[in-house]
Amino acid sequence: MTERSSPSRASYREIDLYAPDRAPSRIDLSDNTNRWGVPPAAQRVLSNAATEQVTRYPDLYASALKRAIAERTGVPLRRIVTGCGSDDVLDSAIRALAEPGETIAGIDPSFAMIPLFARMNGLRYQGVPIDERFDVDPAAFERANARLIYLCVPNNPTGTMLPRGTIDTIVDNARGRATVIIDEAYADFAPWNVLDLATTNDHVLVVRTLSKAYGLAGLRVGYAVGAAALVGEVEKSRGPYKVNALAEAAAAAALAEDGDWVREHIRLALDNRDRLSDALRERGLDPLPSASNFVLVPIAGAARISTAMRERGVAVRPFASLPAITPALRVANGDALRISVGPWNELAAMLTTFDSARDACA
Ligand SMILES: *Cc1c(COP(=O)(O)O)cnc(C)c1O
């Protein structure tokens, strides 16, 4: 009998738990969720939860939710797959659409979960740098010889868009070689989206979530759109019963009935984002141009400042070692704070706390 030094899968030992500082704060602007709350139709479903929804298993593959997504987006049902948050959809897609040992190439910096999902599924992750025009070189994706390509538009944590022309070129170059996964977690806030690419190409998967503009992060609901053959494989990899019954019912209600509420709060978020960016510029800072509901502001010592802010009851998300894609990021040695946009009273309190934390760290 062979002796085992560890009970776990060898490739998992060096993977850390995903554990950003999530201690409760009086004002939490760290995770880009909807600070205005839950939309009314979803709230009604949750308040009226029925015994049947809890004691019975949910629908295998969330068909009522798929119908609501089809209605809202105009995409046919057979092109939709859902999941327990878009994290689940992304993880399932990476598992379904590449073999262990293959490469996923993604823009850098981007969503921290992707390199983690890559390793959990035995893939190599290769970053392709965002340049000073917030663009990437499509040829770098070709050179990576990747089975999967990950783009995030608008991108987290930069908040920036890739040019549509670049996305089109990457998609065209990948045809017959790689599947392009485009994460649109923040598309609701953006001036344009690329959902059309998922309905006109067989190798493009557009992934979305109800965690941000729709205010349902705690329910964990996400979905993807792509060719029927593609989403079918993702659905197998995802497995049955992943969207719980209450989440499915609330999300379907939100998609069907809460459009006005969502639009109104997107408008407020964009107004407050611009006001926040102005307030940061008045402080001599140079936030990146955001197409989303958060702002990335380069500042040296971001980790220490964010700790001092947390001690004062306000949570924002610190980043370190970001590539120097703007002069301000270079000056800050890659340190930055990502601040979610919420109601102005929260942002005003955040700014006061930021000022005192910055003074304390000076
Ligand atoms: C928040 C976020 C998600 C959404 O995650 P859920 O699992 O749907 O809550 C996906 N991608 C990016 C880039 C995000 O920032």
Q: What residues line ligand 1, using a CB cutoff of 6 Å?
A: 32, 85-87, 111, 152, 156, 183, 185, 209, 211-212, 217, 222
pLDDT of residue 4: 66
Distance CA 354, CA 349 (A): 8
Distance CA 220, CA 210 (A): 8
Task: Give the Å distance between the CA of 83 and the centre of ligand 1.
Answer: 12
Q: Is the pTM of this model over 0.95?
A: yes
pLDDT confidence tier of residue 18, bands split at 50, 70 and 90 = confident
Q: How far apart are the first and last CA of the chain?
A: 61
Task: Give the Å distance between the CA of 146 and the centre of ligand 1.
Answer: 23
Determine which residue's CA is closest to atom 1 belonging to ligand 1.
185
For residue 173, what is the DSSP state?
H
Report CA 10 to chain centroid distance, whole Å. 28
Task: Give the Å distance between the CA of 234 and the centre of ligand 1.
Answer: 17
Task: Give the Å distance between the CA of 346 and the centre of ligand 1.
Answer: 22
Q: For residue 110, give the ligand 1 atom closest to its CA.
A: 13
Q: Taken in order 311, 312, 313, 314, is the CA torsion positive or negative?
A: negative
pLDDT of residue 2: 58
Average pLDDT of span 90-95: 98
pLDDT confidence tier of residue 224, bands split at 50, 70 and 90 = very high
Q: For residue 222, give the ligand 1 atom closest to its CA.
A: 8
Distance CA 355, CA 362 (A): 11
Task: Give the Å distance between the CA of 220 and the centre of ligand 1.
Answer: 10
Q: What is the edge-to-edge ordering of all strands in the sheet holding 221-225?
A: 80-84, 221-225, 204-209, 179-183, 148-152, 103-108, 124-129
Task: Give the Å distance between the CA of 244 and the centre of ligand 1.
Answer: 18
pLDDT of residue 3: 62
Task: Give the model confidence (pLDDT) of 229-242 as tens digits.
Answer: 999 999 999 999 99
Tell which residue, 31, 147, 130, 169, has the closest CA to residue 93: 147
In degrees rounded to 5, what are phi and psi of residue 52?
Answer: -55, -35
Report CA 168 to chain centroid distance, whole Å. 21
Determine which residue's CA is closest to atom 2 belonging to ligand 1.
185
Determine which residue's CA is closest to atom 3 belonging to ligand 1.
185
Report CA 349 to chain centroid distance, whole Å. 26
Task: Give the Å distance between the CA of 212 and the centre of ligand 1.
Answer: 8
* Cβ neighbour number for residue 2 with a 10 Å cutoff: 3
Q: For residue 220, give the ligand 1 atom closest to its CA.
A: 9
Task: Give the Å distance between the CA of 222 and the centre of ligand 1.
Answer: 8
Is the pLDDT at 296 greater than 60? The verdict is yes
Q: For residue 111, give the ligand 1 atom closest to its CA.
A: 13
Q: For residue 212, give the ligand 1 atom closest to its CA.
A: 1
**Residue 303 parent element (H or E):** helix 302-311
pLDDT confidence tier of residue 301, bands split at 50, 70 and 90 = very high
Determine which residue's CA is closest to atom 14 belonging to ligand 1.
185
Report CA 24 to chain centroid distance, whole Å. 21
Distance CA 109, CA 221 (A): 25
Q: For residue 87, give the ligand 1 atom closest to its CA.
A: 7
Is the pLDDT at 61 greater than 90? The verdict is yes
Task: Give the model confidence (pLDDT) of 106-146 as tens digits.
Answer: 999 999 999 999 999 999 999 999 999 999 999 999 999 99
Task: Give the model confidence (pLDDT) of 312-351 as tens digits.
Answer: 999 999 999 999 999 999 999 999 999 999 999 999 999 9
For residue 56, which amino acid is it? R
Among 209, 339, 340, which is best to mutate for testing ligand 1, by the most ligand atoms less than 8 A from CB? Answer: 209
Is the pLDDT at 15 greater than 60? The verdict is yes
Q: Taking a C-beta distance cutoff of 8 angstroms, is the pair 333, 300 a contact?
A: yes
Task: Give the model confidence (pLDDT) of 247-256 as tens digits.
Answer: 999 999 999 9
Three-class DSSP category at 84: strand
pLDDT of residue 300: 98
Task: Give the model confidence (pLDDT) of 183-204 as tens digits.
Answer: 999 999 999 999 999 999 999 9
Task: Give the Å distance between the CA of 337 and the centre of ligand 1.
Answer: 18
Task: Give the Å distance between the CA of 173 and the centre of ligand 1.
Answer: 26
In the chain, how long is the greatest CA-to-CA distance? 69
Is the pLDDT at 22 greater than 80? The verdict is no
